[in-house]
Amino acid sequence: MKEVRIGILGGGTVGGGLIDLIAQQRSVLERRIGVQIRIVAVADRSWQKKAHLQNQDFDVTDDPQGVIARNDIDIIVELVGGLEPARQWVLSALESGKSVVTANKALLANHGAEIFELARAKNCGIGFEAAVAGALPVIRNMRRVWVGSDIHEMFGILNGTCNFIITRMQKEGMPYEEALQIAQEKGFAEADPTFDVSGRDAAQKLAILSSLAFDHLVQEKDIKVEGITELSPLDHAMALRMGRVIRLLAVARKDGDGYLLRVHPALIAQDHLLASVEEENNALFTDDKYSGSTMIVGRGAGAFPTASAVLGDIAALARPASSPEVWLSSGKAVRASEDALYRFYLRFRTVDQAGVLASIAHELAVQEISIASMHQEEGPEPVDVVILTHDARESQLEKALTRINSLDIVHGPSVALRLEEPGRH
């Protein structure tokens, strides 16, 4: 199997996540991309203090330029962040003909032109999915799926810290300072939160996204930025009275022969999809002439989500061009479960007479299905009886329903709907 050899600069949280992810999913990755990913070296100036950099089967060093210079490395993964020395390291890597994967939004938002130009000149790949909204595939989507797009506007919720603070203020009526403190306690905000709450972090991400959307260089300095520090509980209450909620939006819009580029707290309609983006989530809403309105939403940060995006970029650079395009290496079919536990919503149409509820409850009890609540609508016959069950087996419910539907007191087949709890398992 072909091998792709990577060197990682920066062995912190995301670097550690990447090392774990590659180790945990090794066999899955080989099957899916047909390439073996091997970490050759990690450079980290305080590697001695990091447990996840001890006793590994790769070299660990405090010399990034040494890693960049190695001949047995194909891809440099830059996870150091900041402008310098990250800029020099990325340029050195490209200069030496290596492809680069980076999560560094500040670097691309300020020195994107220089870096992309060198990558082009050297015919090297450069991946930066992780620079914006972590695992959300916003970059890939714009670069690879919507290749024919004509995006006229984009709205991003690109900073999880701000969104957490804003939704806490909105839902609990608390002042900014209190919401910030909770964010800090939960690890969603830094001790010095300025970079996030001023809107700068979102502006750097918007610079990258709008460069891709509009095919022209947008830099951080092109974007007008306002932060969230002046918001008060009254603003949220008044917004609500107007049928709106406040979000820190990163906005890019075609405007004549130029572009409107803004990061600012704004009032949006309460029933808009973006208003449903709460807590530390990130989102990007895009309006494209061809693909229509689309939103991608999810967690924008964290070690594994960011590592997941970095890994996707590594795979894209590593995968042989001729690689067959589907993962299903085995034609083996899945085993589909026949039976499962669910809470059920049940509706029966019945006659309105004594003993009806008892008869239905009895048939459920026979199948060991326990009732959480019961409701009977008043009205002319047939009347509707609605029952919510506790967890019940599908197979047992089916037996009970067969019996109940055959009762004289029940008109027509009953309705059974499951309760689903997405994301709460």
The reply to whether 187 sits near its own copies by the rule CB under 8 A is no
Within 239-278, which residues bind its own copies (CB under 8 A)? 239, 242, 244, 246, 249, 251, 253, 255-262, 264-269, 272-274, 276
Neighbours of 243 (CB within 10 A): 11
The reply to whether 235 sits near its own copies by the rule CB under 8 A is yes
Among 377, 381, 391, 398, binds its own copies (CB under 8 A): 377
Task: Give the Å distances, CA to CA, from 84 to 104, 107, 111, 167.
Answer: 11, 8, 11, 34
Residue 188 CB, nearest distance to its own copies (Å)?
A: 14
Coil vs helix vs strand at 403? helix
Closer CB to its own copies, 191 or 257, in the complex: 257
Query: What gap in Å lies between CA 296 and CA 105, rounded to an integer?
Result: 19
Among 62, 84, 117, 190, binds its own copies (CB under 8 A): 117
Residue 414 CB, nearest distance to its own copies (Å)?
A: 9
The reply to whether 233 sits near its own copies by the rule CB under 8 A is no
Q: Taking contact as CB under 8 A, which single stretch among the options 44-52, 74-82, 126-134, 395-403 is the one that binds its own copies?
A: 126-134
Within 151-170, which residues bind its own copies (CB under 8 A)? 152-153, 155
Residue 31 CB, nearest distance to its own copies (Å)?
A: 7
Question: What is the Cβ-side half-sphere exposure of residue 126, based on CA atoms within 13 angstroms?
Answer: 25
Query: What gap in Å lies between CA 86 and CA 64, rounded to an integer?
Result: 10
Neighbours of 220 (CB within 10 A): 20
Query: What gap in Å lies between CA 129 and CA 296, rounded to an integer?
Result: 14
Among 126, 151, 189, 203, binds its own copies (CB under 8 A): 126
Q: Taking contact as CB under 8 A, which single stretch among the options 38-46, 48-56, 196-204, 232-240 is the one that binds its own copies?
A: 232-240
Tokens of 359: 């008869």
Closer CB to its own copies, 80 or 301, in the complex: 301
What is the pairing mode between strands 59-61 and 2-9? unpaired
Within 40-69, which residues bind its own copies (CB under 8 A)? none
Closer CB to its own copies, 45 or 375, in the complex: 375
Residue 46 CB, nearest distance to its own copies (Å)?
A: 25
Q: Taking contact as CB under 8 A, which single stretch among the options 77-85, 143-151, 177-185, 188-196 is the one that binds its own copies?
A: 143-151
The reply to whether 399 sits near its own copies by the rule CB under 8 A is no
Query: What gap in Å lies between CA 243 and CA 313, rounded to an integer?
Result: 41
Closer CB to its own copies, 62 or 150, in the complex: 150
The reply to whether 381 sits near its own copies by the rule CB under 8 A is no
Within 310-349, which residues bind its own copies (CB under 8 A)? 311-312, 315-316, 320-322, 324-337, 340, 345, 347
Give the total of residues touching its own copies (CB under 8 A).
Answer: 139
> Which has the closest alpha carbon to 210: 137, 274, 163, 260?
260
Range 371-394 burial, b when 16+ CB lie within 10 A, else e: beeeeeeeeeeebebebebeebeb
Query: What gap in Å lies between CA 274 and CA 294, rounded to an integer?
Result: 11
Q: Taking contact as CB under 8 A, which single stretch among the options 53-61, 119-127, 184-192, 196-204 is the one that binds its own copies?
A: 119-127
Q: Taking contact as CB under 8 A, which single stretch among the options 42-50, 54-62, 209-217, 356-364 is the one that binds its own copies?
A: 209-217
Count Cβ atoms within 10 A of the Cβ of residue 6 and give its class: 0-12 exposed, 13-18 middle, 19 or more buried. buried
The residue annotated as part of the active site, out of 49, 205, 289, 332, is: 205
Which sign does the torsion angle of CA 287, 265, 171, 197 carry?
A: positive
Within 293-312, which residues bind its own copies (CB under 8 A)? 293-299, 302, 304-305, 307-309, 311-312
Edge-to-edge strand list for the sheet holding 59-61: 59-61, 35-43, 2-9, 75-78, 99-102, 126-127
The reply to whether 359 sits near its own copies by the rule CB under 8 A is no
Query: What gap in Å lies between CA 164 and CA 401, rounded to an integer?
Result: 45
Query: What gap in Å lies between CA 133 and CA 300, rounded to an integer?
Result: 4
Closer CB to its own copies, 167 or 201, in the complex: 167
Among 42, 212, 225, 401, binds its own copies (CB under 8 A): 212
205 catalytic? Reply is yes
Task: Give the Å distances, CA to CA, from 41 to 11, 110, 202, 410.
Answer: 10, 28, 32, 71
Closer CB to its own copies, 315 or 364, in the complex: 315
Query: What gap in Å lies between CA 308 and CA 295, rounded to an integer?
Result: 20
Q: What are the residue numbers of the active site?
A: 205
